[in-house]
Amino acid sequence: MAESSALVRSFVGVSVPALPIVNTVLRKLNAMGTAIKTVQEATLHVTLKFLGDVPADRIAPIGNAIAKSAANFSAHRIELHGIGTFPDERRPSVIWIGLKPVETLVTLASEIELAMCDFGFEPESRAFSPHLTLARVKTKPPSTLFELIEAHRRTPFGDFAVEEVKLYRSELTPGGPVYSVLKTCPLSSV
């Protein structure tokens, strides 16, 4: 059993299945060399709230609060649609796929945000912008990145069911982050 002083790097998210066309785009991004660091297909997710380092003895009550929030929302489907970048197209640092509709996800994230305030987490200063991160840009990207973004700006990538929210542990390793599920919090049935 973990000591109460141990810290668990964690976040709240929704897992996203590795749809075939998304995997194709990930492979193309991966082929662009070391300038682009792609997300692993098996770890695709939408982050609802990053918690950071949390004392291990607070994980269970935090998970229970997330489950209570999640139970107030019905399972629903979300479409993955179009590629974009943060902070802007000329100097991208994050490459993402958009989601629609996002209203339920935004409200769910807001409810979780409020629940986490009870545990001393500061509310986010910026508005929640739901997206699926595909890759991070580490150095000056090749021109093929901009061609890929333009080619998929409006591509429909498919849809998936949002049936649960997960509290994840994130362990940073030299090969990239490794995620494990600490708690699965089902949404209510439709």
Distance between CA atoms of residues 146 and 138, nearest Å: 15
Catalytic residue, chosen from 76, 81, 131, 152, is 131
Distance between CA atoms of residues 24 and 15, nearest Å: 18
DSSP assignment letter at 42: G
- The structure tokens 């494990």 sit at 180
Query: Active-site residue 76, yes or no?
Result: no
Joined tokens for residue 152 = 């998929």
Cα 63 to chain centroid, rounded: 17
Query: Active-site residue 81, yes or no?
Result: no
Catalytic residue, chosen from 45, 76, 81, 152, is 45
Nearest residue to 8 (alpha-carbon basis) of 62, 52, 67: 52
Residues annotated as part of the active site: 45, 131
